[in-house]
Structure 1
Amino acid sequence: MERTGCAVVGGGPAGMMLGLLLARAGVEVAVLEKHGDFLRDFRGDTVHASTIRLMDELGLGPGFRALPQSRLRNVAFPVPGAGLVTLADFDSLKPPYNYVAMMPQWDFLDFLASAAKAEPTFTLLMECEATGLVFGDGGRVTGVRFRAAGDAGEQVLHADVVVAADGRHSVLRRATGLSPKEYPVPFDVWWFRLTRRGTEAGELAGVVPAFGDREAMIALNRTDYYQMGYLAPKGADARIRAEGVERFRQRVAALRPDLADRVGSISSVEDLHWLDVRLNRLRRWYTDGFLCIGDAAHAMSPAGGVGINLAIQDAVAAARRLAPDLRRGQVRTATLAAVQRRRWMPTVVVQTVQRIMHRAVFVPLFAGKFPAGAAAGNAAGHRSRLRQVLLFVVRHNPVVRRFLPRVIAFGPRPEHAPGFARPLTH
């Protein structure tokens, strides 16, 4: 394959969705994925109502609901001194979009890939790692360089537009000189597994938090294991690994005594998958012939689990605007700018909420500075009173209680499937 209409780099949620939608528009599109499959642990697993509705609009709803999944009925946020505070009860939303689906991301990506392969203009190139861009006259991006598995040399795929959906460490973004603005993040996450016995109770969609001194841990219940996330101050990876596996097991056991009998399943510190948490966004998502979407345009904190859904909404907005230009064989820079304008507001809103969450909860947690009443001083007392007021509003204000579930489930600007991507019978 030497040429396509749109070359999408990255087979994650944004890349696969964009490929599917453009193929349904009759556009030649190729998705390049550097791995041989989608089976990689510890990716995000939350599929929000906006994406579930999109599946229905695409005629994929029955197949999506048949995938292994569980349903999260509310979002609760742990607040030290106040316990688990429910921010959103999805039962207040109109069915069938009154829940968040929890499923392994590889199942979701396999599902999207299967749907896209049914379209004659779609090509999925697995084990093809992008290495750079091709530039034409005037500096316009005219294609992507990549290396296929088992091939020692580079290949070139020419395209009318190249879309980078290759994540927060985007190779193609660096090749264009686009640089994101970074926002401070107080923590990193170390993902690992613990055994879950079949006799153990608990909702599969449950998210169980635990807090210690300058550390925290969450457990996501799976069918046969717990997906654990250990949170500690940013920059602690070298220290944690130097302390060794036995010290880490002790930390886990102290935070979750009920799981202490299975910490031996952490065989070494190599079982800890470190996530360098970033929160950033590009000031400009595009250049002539090139566009960034998803984490390549705006890396999200795991707080709230919204990264997958924001990326998918980017893909829908991009497909709607790119398809007409691609049909004509010429993608205008103004079209790329229109994609950024459409998705800028929801990105800023979500990241602002995440930054507030970081400052209000995670910064004081990892600094050991949660106020303990009047003895903590006037400033601490003021923060404590402010937190009490906010908690009261969240718990008792009917407007907030109706508004928050919809915002979390659908986001500030949910996208609908373009007409060209919907089945004729929908």
Structure 2
Amino acid sequence: MPQVRFTIPTLSRTLIDIFIRFGLISLLAVSCFQIFKPFMSLILWSMILAITLYPLQTRLRGKVFDSEGRTATLIVFLVICVILVPSCMLGVALIDSVEHAMDIARSGRFQIPPPAESVMGWPLIGQRLYDFWMLAATDFTSLAEKLAPQIKIVVVALLGTARGVGVGLLIFVAALIVAGIFMAYGELGTRSAIQIASRISGPERGPRITALCTATVRAVAQGVVGIAFIQMLLIGIAFVVKAVPGAGLLALAVLLLGIMQLPATLITIPVILFVFATESVSVSSVVFAIYVFIAGLADNVLKPMLLGRGVDVPMPVVLIGALGGMVSGGVIGLFIGPVVLAVGYQLFWQWVEDAQQAVEGVEAIETVEIAEPTGTEARSDTRPAGG
């Protein structure tokens, strides 16, 4: 009995090979992503810090140390000192303040001065604020018992925020150390980034996209830190002039809140209430309150002015990317959002311009093809008779 042999066509065999390779590559990519996932936030922060600090590395190169590694180590050490020393001072001051407040509460020496009669005349909230203030001044114990559930919720939230800030500082230090390693090999990293971008988007667009991503990250980082520093100066000067207790630490807290993209009103509003509670309502206290409140909202005006500087895309694109990225991805989304949106914006308009150039090229070819017969006929008409 003859044996029947089944043969697989060449096209089917090629498709099977493609599917097998695709499946293996997908499995490898998923496995690599799962292994890399725990370190993704750390690596992203390291890249952002390395891109932001690398211009400082190029300026210091050869002036302090000849080695790239030693220069990067110096920068990392200085940044850690600038960040950690004030943070530790702020943490110690907060702990001391909490302990002092607990001692006062246990001794029963805590007293709130009664409100002035003029508070009752404030529009909308005057009467309610006066009654609440008077109850706190005359019978603070019963008020504390009444507000105990709300106070507990606030305290738990503050403790959770403090724990998150501590973990964030540790991640920041680790990311800064890794960023120093990246900066030590900055030129090699730049060439690698250009090669990757060129492989994805083509040799013509690769260097431009790499430069766009770098400029966007630096613009956002400098804008965030610069805005936080300006806001700290505006608010800190008012605290010092008004002789607010702990004015320096409060100004430092404003700086840290600005870097973390938290509103400065978390500091300014309690200070305004403290000033009104310890001083009588006067022209100076009202001016102080208005100025500090407006200064706490200054970042809403400064962001559109500073975030888009040095980037080859419109400022609203960077601003929308920063705000949307922060809402969807937290603080790190503040940097990733503008980069993604800026690259997408550039690729979209490049695609539009390529299509327009293709249409213009076709129209030019058609014009030449139409013009050539017309020129031939004109030449044939002008030939001399008998030619």
Q: Same fold (TM over 0.5)?
A: no
Using the size of structure 1 for normalisation, the TM-score is 0.26
Q: Which has the higher contact order (CA 8 A, sep 6+)?
A: 1
Whichever of the two has the greater Rg, that structure is 2
